[in-house]
């Protein structure tokens, strides 16, 4: 009896041990892994900065899922959202993204990002309603992340410590305006006034990133802005008899 049972048991163990694994053994939950294309697309998220006609623009890609791109453009005192479709061909993403269209300055972005050079964006923008003052623009932008820096500008102390009257009493109106607006520029404020854009957009440290910095200002900066504005008013009222 023992001789009969042993061969039978051995056959059973051999059969179960060699049984093919279920096809689902290595399967993973659908959607748990992104495709290579989706992974590459996600790597495009970031901010890209460069010349945009006579202005500086920051193009921010904030969301990239499947073939959909979403983001914002910050230029000329405007902060506008955009959304569009990305198509991958031969290692390059061709992206068509539209702004909402409810602003007279809205338009359409068409740009290319090479997966081998994901830090460079090249393309063009065309307004929905062209006019004599608003035409299409070509651009080539480089990936640059905005950082709040306190040691930049001509008057960095305005963001580092509370100023005294001695710090501002001998400055003329133009110097005071520069001092005050540098505070906003350090926070990436995108100026609407052309003269202020021209004041900062050629500075390497300046990256337009937002049109509202109220919540970002420090208590020191708020106090300094109040002080500077008071002396700007004095300079305006007294002209050459005030300051240097």
CATH number of the domain encompassing residue 139: 2.40.160
Greater pLDDT, 207 or 16: 207
Q: Are 62 and 81 in contact (CB under 8 A)?
A: no
Residue 222 pLDDT level (bands cut at 50, 70, 90): very high
Share of the chain above pLDDT 70, in %: 81
Look up the domain containing 102 and give its range. 36-143
The answer on 43 and 133 residing in a single domain is yes
CA–CA separation, 70 and 85 (whole Å): 9
CA–CA separation, 185 and 200 (whole Å): 7
Let me know if residue 25 belongs to a domain. no
- Number of domains, the chain: 2
Residue 37 pLDDT level (bands cut at 50, 70, 90): low
Let me know if residue 19 belongs to a domain. no
pLDDT at 130: 80
The half-sphere exposure of 56 on its side-chain side, counting CA atoms within 13 A, is 26
The dihedral region occupied by 91, where left means phi > 0, alpha psi between -120 and 50, and beta the remainder, is: left
Residue 206 pLDDT level (bands cut at 50, 70, 90): very high
pLDDT at 238: 72
Q: Is the pLDDT assigned to residue 25 strictly greater than 70?
A: no
**Phi/psi at 122 (nearest 5 deg)?**
-130, 140
The answer on 213 and 131 residing in a single domain is no
What value does the mean pLDDT take over residues 206-218?
Answer: 96
3-class state of residue 168 by DSSP? helix
Q: Is the pLDDT assigned to residue 85 strictly greater than 50?
A: yes
Q: Are 220 and 226 in contact (CB under 8 A)?
A: no
What value does the mean pLDDT take over residues 165-182?
Answer: 95
Let me know if residue 31 belongs to a domain. no
Q: Is the pLDDT assigned to residue 16 strictly greater than 70?
A: no
Let me know if residue 17 belongs to a domain. no
CA–CA separation, 75 and 206 (whole Å): 13
Give ∠ CA 155-217-77 in degrees, rounded to 5: 85
Q: Are 147 and 126 in contact (CB under 8 A)?
A: no
Query: 1-15, 125-139, 209-223: which has the minimum mean pLDDT?
Result: 1-15
**Type and span of the H or E element at 178:** helix 173-186
The answer on 237 and 205 residing in a single domain is yes
Which residue, chain included where needed, has tokens 């910050």?
74
Residue 241 pLDDT level (bands cut at 50, 70, 90): low
């Amino acid at each position: 009896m023992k001789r009969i049972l042993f061969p039978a048991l051995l056959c059973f163990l051999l059969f179960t041990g060699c049984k093919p694994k279920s096809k689902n053994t290595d399967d993973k939950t659908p959607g748990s892994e992104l495709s290579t294309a989706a992974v590459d697309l996600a790597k495009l998220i970031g901010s890209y900065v460069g010349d945009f006609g006579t202005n500086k623009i920051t193009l921010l890609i904030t969301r990239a899922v499947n073939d959909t791109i979403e983001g914002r453009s910050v230029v000329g005192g405007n902060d506008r959202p955009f959304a569009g479709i990305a198509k991958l061909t031969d290692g390059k993403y061709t992206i068509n993204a539209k702004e909402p269209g409810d602003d007279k300055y809205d338009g359409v972005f068409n740009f290319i990002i090479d997966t081998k050079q994901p830090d460079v964006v090249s393309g063009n923008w065309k307004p929905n309603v062209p006019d004599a003052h608003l035409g299409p623009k070509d651009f080539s932008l480089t990936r640059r992340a905005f950082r709040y820096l306190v040691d930049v500008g001509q008057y960095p102390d305005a963001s580092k410590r509370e100023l005294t009257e001695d710090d501002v009493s001998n400055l003329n109106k133009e110097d005071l305006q520069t001092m005050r607006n540098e505070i906003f520029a350090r926070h990436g404020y995108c100026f609407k006034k052309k003269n202020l854009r021209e004041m900062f957009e050629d500075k390497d440290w300046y990256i337009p990133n937002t049109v509202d910095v109220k919540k970002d200002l420090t208590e020191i900066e708020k106090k300094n802005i109040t002080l500077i504005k008071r002396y700007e008013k004095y300079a305006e009222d007294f002209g050459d008899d005030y300051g240097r």
